Structure 1
Amino acid sequence: MASALGCCSLKATHRGGTPKWRSPRAAVIPNFHLPMRSYEVKNRTNVDDIKSLRLITAIKTPYLPDGRFDLEAYDALVNMQIEDGVEGVIVGGTTGEGQLMSWDEHIMLIGHTVNCFGGSIKVIGNTGSNSTREAIHATEQGFAVGMHAALHINPYYGKTSLDGLISHFDSVLPMGPTIIYNVPSRTGQDIPQGVVQNIAKSPNFAGVKECVGNDRIEEYTRNGLVVWSGNDDQCHDSRWFHGATGVISVASNLVPGLMRELMFGGTNSSLNSKLLPLIDWLFQEPNPIGLNTALAQLGVVRPIFRLPYVPLPLAKRVEFVNIVKELGRENFVGEKDVQVLEDDDFILIGRY
């Protein structure tokens, strides 16, 4: 009888000897942070170590012909970032196509990056979601495999209220250092300053990746908040004229050394002007289409796209080769000659 009832309490009985069922205490979970989410276990990285990062690459995820991750190419690309002075990587962000990953793939790649490179570079896992439940679970797992910080976007598509935004971020901030990502062009909803100022009270709030522009960045930095520009074309002015700590960059996948110079070397309008044609080219179509095409033509990754992304058309691929020659092949990642790939060179994968 006891085995059939499992965890039910049988201590109280009626006079006739029939056990009186009582709700097990374990069924009531108090409202406290579970050990997996505690400050002691998860806040291993000091939030100030994240706040000080000036150049963070939103790293590309390469693929094999069957659609799995090409970890050999990925490792080589991350190594190139480290060698050229990048201080952190965003794993599984928009650029890394986290939106096309299962959560198993997502957490595996974060853990792999920590295991291989965590001693040399800060690993920031994109564990954000439009579902608070998923964001909590992914962030728990991300910190459990050792990521140094989390990147969190506001809930997209099924948008919520301002109070809902605060509650969403409050659900994940206790787990460890956190960067909030504001990109209304993708989410359809701006994160207002009032929301940021509210959640900035958390000791784990590292700062904001801001894509709205330099006026917004300056409003935050005047009030002592850490901000990274999310726009490569604005990051020079963000850093040197509007108080941004640095940039979370797509272009640094390609030219990490030049982007480091832009973020560390003081005002340099000449270098910024030289980089703008490359940056403009990268974003003629939604990111990461341009980056994927560029890295394939540099021979750094295989020319494989997970749909719905497809390569830039031939004329744009020719244009990229000319940009590389203008900037100098030695400033780009990889060692192979840049080439114009033909349409038939690309593999498009719909099931992965």
Structure 2
Amino acid sequence: MLSSSLMNNSLCLKDSSLSFGLNSRRPAAADTRRRSGRWKSPEAAAIPNLHLPMRSLEVKNRTSVDDIKSLRLITAIKTPYLPDGRFDLEAYDSLMHMQIVNGSEGVIVGGTTGEGHLMSWDEHIMLIGHTVNCFGSSIKVIGNTGSNSTREAIHASEQGFAVGMHAALHINPYYGKTSMLGMVSHFETVLSMGPTIIYNVPSRTGQDIPPPVIHAISQNPNMAGVKECVGNDRIKGYVDEGIVIWSGNDDECHDARWTYGATGVISVTSNLVPSLMHSLMFKGVNSSLNSKLMPLIKWLFHEPNPIALNTALAQLGVVRPVFRLPYVPLPLAKRVEFVRIVKDIGRENFVGEKDVQVLDDDDFVLVGRY
């Protein structure tokens, strides 16, 4: 029986003259090489692209990069929960249906808004696959398969494309950060998997993706564009260079679209008022509608997203009032304020059919283990 160390070494040898048959001996030539000091250690770890990425030759759902580049309204969809913290797929499917009938062209599954960072990868990929299976013929499904670990980002993207997602959303490595060259290498690696949107949100990652990085990867055939949260001046610079951009800031998206040339928006607000956000992106300059929506948008982002969105959807009765910690609902005063905002904009413009409720503190369920 081979020793464990010998077995481990045998996995790394490539084209070696060593033989591990029970009755075999190392050839004399190998003995000579070792005695002469000219033996070279195995280089299997340095051999590129033998098995990565494990992408299929089939284009899932026949999605081209141009199909992704043309999307104007993409919703960062909320993930609802049951009281035990598991996904509430019935509520999720209802949310998806409301997005489709009100004109959303794409969804980000498991993004910041969808709380992908609170999911296991099994949950994450399951939800992407479920969304594709149920709605992939009606809306583009963009899976958030980004990670601060390139290894994890590769693996998640392989699985996401295998279950049929149309595109991936990838963030720059966060917390640990990296150099500009490291960012380029990270993105080039994940771009090899399929159509990809790059997501720049320095307030969450702690590191900006500067224009030189985007320029370096912009010619990659799988590069669909950038979700940019730095602001409209940055957006204009990219647009002038022919790079497709989606605004990542709902409060700036109207001007980004109609003044600065952004293709559209990846929106949180469209979870609540998809038809109005559709109008904002499709029907030309509408400063009046933009101003009308601003109190809602400011309310949504006065605490870190998705705290307010989760609270609002519960108040509208379209999801259960269940939060996965560390998120907790907004306090009573803010819930009262949301009821006023809904009445001002018009309940008919919001998702769901139930009357908006304030809800009591005791109505909310906070789940730490699930």
How far apart are 1:20 and its partner, in Å?
3.1
CA 1:326 to 1:91, structure 2 compared with 1: closer, same or farther past 3 Å? same
Q: Which has the larger radius of gyration?
A: 2
For 1:309 and 1:196, the matched residues in 2 are separated by: 32
**What TM-score does the superposition give when structure 2 sets the normalisation length?**
0.89
How far is the alpha carbon of 1:201 from its aligned partner?
1.4
- Asked whether the equivalents of residues 11 and 19 of structure 1 are also in contact (C-alpha less than 8 Å), the reply is no
- Residue 47 of structure 1 corresponds to 65
Question: Are 1:18 and 2:35 matched, yes or no?
Answer: no
Letter of the 1:184 counterpart? P
RMSD: 2.4
Aligned counterpart in structure 1 of residue 81 of structure 2, from 46, 50, 63? 63
Q: Any idea what SS the aligned residue of 1:56 has?
A: strand
Unaligned runs of 5+ in 1: none
Deviation at 1:26, TM superposition (A): 12
Name stretches of at least 5 consecutive residues in structure 2 with no aligned partner. 31-39
* C-alpha deviation, 1:286, in angstroms: 0.2
Match of 1:302 among 315, 320, 334: 320
2:208 alignment partner, SS class: coil
CA distance in 2, matches of 1:146, 1:213: 32
* Offset at residue 32 of structure 1 (A): 2.4
Q: How many residues align?
A: 348
Name which of 102, 108, 115 aligns with 2:120.
102
Residue number among 173, 183, 206 corresponding to 1:155 in the alignment: 173
Divergent runs of 4+, >2 A: 4-13, 17-23, 25-30, 32-44
Q: Which residue matches 1:130? A: 148
Deviation at 1:18, TM superposition (A): 3.4
Distance 1:63 1:73 in 2: 8
Distance 1:274 1:36 in 2: 47
* C-alpha contact (below 8 Å) 1:227/1:246 kept by paired residues: yes
Structure 1 position 254 matched with structure 2 position 286: no
The separation in 1 between residues aligned to 2:149 and 2:234, in whole angstroms, is: 27
TM superposition shift of 1:60: 0.1
1:1-352 equivalence runs, <5 A: 18-20=24-26, 30-32=47-49, 34=51, 37-38=54-55, 40-42=57-59, 44-352=62-370
Kindly state the Cα deviation for residue 37 of structure 1 after the two structures are TM-superposed.
4.0
| Pair 1:328–1:42, CA change in 2 (3 A) | same
Provide the rounded CA distance (Å) in 1 between the counterparts of 2:164 and 2:53.
12
- One-letter amino acid of the counterpart of residue 41, structure 1: E
Counterpart contact for 2:53–2:154, Cα < 8 Å: no
* Alpha-carbon distance change, 161 to 36 in structure 1, aligned in 2, over 3 angstroms: closer
State the shift of 1:36 in Å: 5.5
The answer to whether the 8 Å contact 1:37/1:174 transfers is no
